[in-house]
Every structure is written in C-alpha cells, then in structure tokens.
Amino acid sequence: MKSAVLKYGLFALIFLYSTTLLAQNSAGNDTGTHPKRVKVTIAGSITASLNRVLGQGNGDALSAHAGRLTMWWLDLKKDVLKGDTLEILYKNAELPAIYQIHALRYTSQKKERTFSAFLYNGHFYDENGRELEPRLTHAPIKSYFQVTERMNIAGRNHHGVDFKADEGTALFAPYDGIVERIWTAPANGNSLKIKLDHQNQKAYYLHLSKVEPGLKVGMRVKAGQKVAEVGNTGRSTAAHLHYELHDKNEKIIDPYLNDEIYYQTIPAAYVESFTEWRNYYLSLLNAGNN
C-alpha cells in the first residue's frame, strides 16, 4: 500500500481504503463509539472550509468523501455559497486522514433547502429512505457500493463515471450492440468498447479484470448480457469500473443526463431499523445546535 500512496497520493489512498470501509458496512451499521461531528459555515469551497477547521490533510480527505454525496444535490462549482452550512458525522479509520461518513447535512441558500444523507447497510439514503444516488435503468453494472466520481465534478477533468465494486463483479451491455474494440493499455488497463444500437452511442469499460471469454470484436451482444468483470488494472488503486458513454460523434456524455434513471428505497422489512438509525444520527446532528 505504501508504494500506491507514493505513486498516486492521498486521494488514491482515500479511494483504496474507503472501498474496504463501505464493504465492511454492507452487513449493517457500526454499533461502536459515537461518530465525531464537524460543522462548518462555508467560506470559499467545501474543501477550504473543512481545512480551516480540521487542517489541510484532514480537511482534504473528509471533503473528498463529502463530495461524493453533495454532488447529487449541488453543482459544486456554482451552487456552493458563502454562508451555507455543512454538518458531518464521521469516524476515523485505522489510517491517518481516512474517514467513513455516517451522516451529512447541507443547508443551501441557492437551493433554499436542507439536504441530508444517512449511511445504512453500506449505502446512503435521504431522510425518507430513498437512496441518495440515482441508478441507471440501462446500467453497465447492477451491484456496486457507491459512485465515487461523475463527469467533471467541481472542475475535475474526469470523463466518465466510477462505480466502486468488488473485483469480479459482473458487467453488462446496457443496450443491444456490437463489440467494437477489446484492448489493454498502461493507463486504462483491460478495456472494452461496445457500439450500441441505441442512438449509435458507444460504451467504454475500463480497468477490467477480464472481458467475458469468447467475446470477440464484431460480435453482437444483447442488452443485459454479461460482457466483462470489474477489475483493478492499469493506473487504478482499487477495484472499480470506469464507465464512459459517448455519442455518435465520440463526444463524451453524462449517462445520468442521457438515460433513464430510478431510485431505490428502503425495503419495507428494514424501514423500522433505518428509521432508528436515521433518528440516532439526527439526534447527534441536532445536539450540536442546542
């Protein structure tokens, strides 16, 4: 792990270790010590605001995690205003400057509302039990922990969507199409490109552990057909799928803005348990405001 940190830096380590944290939480919420609470009034960016309270390294790290939640509510370059408030419940991991967020609340002046996210069984939900992240109806992956990057969030030059998932997780064709390219490259690792029948779009799958055996260039695939598995190849520090969707002219487009989406909700059998955890987190958030 030390070599990975030296090669790719702090944010690579955050990505690598938080995969383990979310996986550990998948069986249920941590029932150990109470999480810590931090509240900041925004002045500048979210990162700068947390750095003023927690210090450079700690603020950077917690901001990276917070961004994965707030990016579903806000344009992080345009909507974050001076005077907004951010509250986070979090716990430290075994490594320095690595955290697990348990709850987050953001009050936005521009949106004129307060947003909340609560960790439950490895995923984040709003106060009503709706999963924070929308899901793609025509998705390349069905089982994953979290979307850790979207396109060009907060000015970062990122050209796709990163789905954090275990190595070996099955990947699928979102629509009928034709396999156009299978290759391996130093940066992207094992990769696959499918030309889709849907609007002549192209789907790219990067950092794969493997392409499905027998799949060859020129072969047709059906929507929902398994085509590959999640990996950690190329310049990647943790297992994930980097997924890109291109239009017919090879312009990169945001899948969440160019496809149907839906939201999962807490199953009825778990509503009572979720409600108890949500109320527990709210009590900790609200205690600091008394």
Q: Is residue 6 part of a domain?
A: yes
Choose between 156 and 150: higher pLDDT: 150
Domain hosting 103: range is 2-133+264-287
* Res. 20: pLDDT tops 60: no
Q: Which two tokens stand for residue 81?
A: 């205003």
278 shares a domain with 256: no
Q: Is residue 197 part of a domain?
A: yes
Which amino acid appears at position 118 of this protein?
F
User: What's the structural domain count of the chain?
Assistant: 2
Section 16-29 average pLDDT: 43
How would residue 93 be classed by pLDDT, with cut points 50, 70 and 90?
Answer: low
Q: Is residue 185 part of a domain?
A: yes
Among left, alpha and beta (phi > 0; psi -120 to 50; other), residue 40 is beta
First and final C-alpha spacing in the chain? 42
Q: What is the pLDDT of residue 157?
A: 64
Q: What is the pLDDT of residue 150?
A: 86
- How far apart (Å, rounded) are the C-alpha atoms in residues 10 and 95? 11
Q: Is residue 139 part of a domain?
A: no
Q: What is the CATH number of the domain that holds 126?
A: 3.10.450.350
Q: What is the pLDDT of residue 226?
A: 98
Q: Is residue 55 part of a domain?
A: yes
Per-residue pLDDT tens digits for 245-268: 999 999 999 999 999 999 999 999
- How far apart (Å, rounded) are the C-alpha atoms in residues 206 and 192? 7
DSSP states of the chain: -HHHHHHH-HHHHHHHHHHHHHHHHTTS---SSPPEEEEEE-SS-HHHHHHHHH-HHHHHHHHHHHHHHHTTT--TTTT--TT-EEEEEEEE-SSTT-EEEEEEEEEETTTTEEEEEEEETTEEE-TTSBBSS-EESS-SBS--SEEEE-TTGGG----SEEEE--TT-EEE-SSSEEEEEEEEETTTEEEEEEEESGGG-EEEEEEEEEEPTT--TT-EE-TT-EEEEEB--SS-SS-EEEEEEE-TT--EE-HHHHS-EE--B--GGGHHHHHHHHHHHHHHHHHTT-
Q: Is residue 210 part of a domain?
A: yes
176 shares a domain with 61: no
199 shares a domain with 55: no
43 shares a domain with 92: yes
82 shares a domain with 8: yes
* Res. 58: pLDDT tops 70: yes
Q: What is the CATH number of the domain that holds 253?
A: 2.70.70.10
Section 3-18 average pLDDT: 39
226 shares a domain with 191: yes
270 shares a domain with 128: yes
Instruction: Among 17-31, 85-99, 106-120, 173-187, name the one with the lowest average pLDDT.
Output: 17-31
Section 77-94 average pLDDT: 91
Per-residue pLDDT tens digits for 96-144: 457 899 999 999 999 999 999 999 999 999 999 999 999 999 999 999 9
Section 190-200 average pLDDT: 97
Q: Is residue 141 part of a domain?
A: no
**How many Cβ atoms sit within 10 Å of the Cβ of residue 93?**
17
Which amino acid appears at position 140 of this protein?
P
201 shares a domain with 165: yes
Average pLDDT, the chain: 87
How would residue 12 be classed by pLDDT, with cut points 50, 70 and 90?
Answer: very low
Q: Is residue 140 part of a domain?
A: no
Instruction: Among 14-23, 71-80, 106-115, 274-283, name the one with the lowest average pLDDT.
Output: 14-23
**How many Cβ atoms sit within 10 Å of the Cβ of residue 25?**
18
246 shares a domain with 207: yes
181 shares a domain with 167: yes
Q: What is the pLDDT of residue 252?
A: 92
226 shares a domain with 164: yes
In the numeric block, the tokens 């039990």 are attached to 129
Per-residue pLDDT tens digits for 201-227: 999 999 999 999 999 999 999 999 999
272 shares a domain with 186: no
- How far apart (Å, rounded) are the C-alpha atoms in residues 186 and 184? 7
How would residue 23 be classed by pLDDT, with cut points 50, 70 and 90?
Answer: very low
CB 176 within 8 A of CB 195: no
- How far apart (Å, rounded) are the C-alpha atoms in residues 208 and 23? 19
* Res. 17: pLDDT tops 80: no
